[in-house]
Amino acid sequence: MLAIRACAGDCDVEKLAQTIQQQEEKCDKIVADRCTGSGASLISCGNTLTGLQESMSMISSALGMAKAAEERALLMQVYQRQVADINQTLDAMQSLGASASTLEQFTNGLAQTVPELMVGVGSTGKISLNSRQIGSNEKYQPNAGAVGNMKEFFNSPGFGQDLASASQRTHKIVQGETVYKANVPIGNYIKAGDQFYLDKTHKNHIEVFGSNNKVKAVLNLDGSRNEVKTIAARAQGRTIPK
């Protein structure tokens, strides 16, 4: 699970973003192996949920101590990602045969762990974030799932169709994915002339590059900026071919 702490003194936000991204990838694998993979079991998935609860408590504590606005925005996004992971794990536990009382026990415990950030447990048995945001003026809604390819994304309502109607295919190929060029500004983070492609590995975010072929931002599939991945991409100095 994630072991994130607030920076002491001056915060190296790029280093924090890279650490978060590495730990999120490990967390995704743990959830998949223990809750949805061939070796999934109710016990291992329950242990995973307990670990996620501990992570949330740690991140909540880090939020309280963080001083830099950019650091707080990163931590808040991680917190929101953890909520999505927990709800996915709760679904998996139900599929594995967990009783309603067992799920209620877990969700009530989670809501009590960090009440200042939680609405609580809804009628669906899912936990949800308080609408009051900390360190961010955007509420990130985790994508329900990755898309199969760019064509599928372009056909999806909202940001996908916005991109499709305002961009054109280029000759460039990155990670086996076609690079597109924006003809006009799209959303809050793409300007006319910017280039973008669908990440091949996760297929749940768009990488955006300027006309100079240098990375500008990483966007979630709803068009919001993924702060963790954006800072990590900039730190790595990602570019695309000319």
Q: Taking a C-beta distance cutoff of 8 angstroms, is the pair 204, 141 a contact? A: no
Confidence of residue 144 (pLDDT cuts 50, 70, 90): very low
Conformation bin of residue 133: beta by default, left when phi > 0, alpha when psi is -120 to 50: beta
Sign of CA dihedral 82, 80, 117, 111: negative
Q: What is the pLDDT of residues 190-207, one digit of tens each?
A: 999 999 999 887 788 899
Q: Taking a C-beta distance cutoff of 8 angstroms, is the pair 134, 152 a contact? A: no
DSSP code of 186? B
Q: What is the pLDDT of residues 10-63, one digit of tens each?
A: 556 677 777 777 777 788 888 888 888 888 888 888 888 878 877 777 777 777
Number of Cβ within 10 Å of residue 129's Cβ equals 19
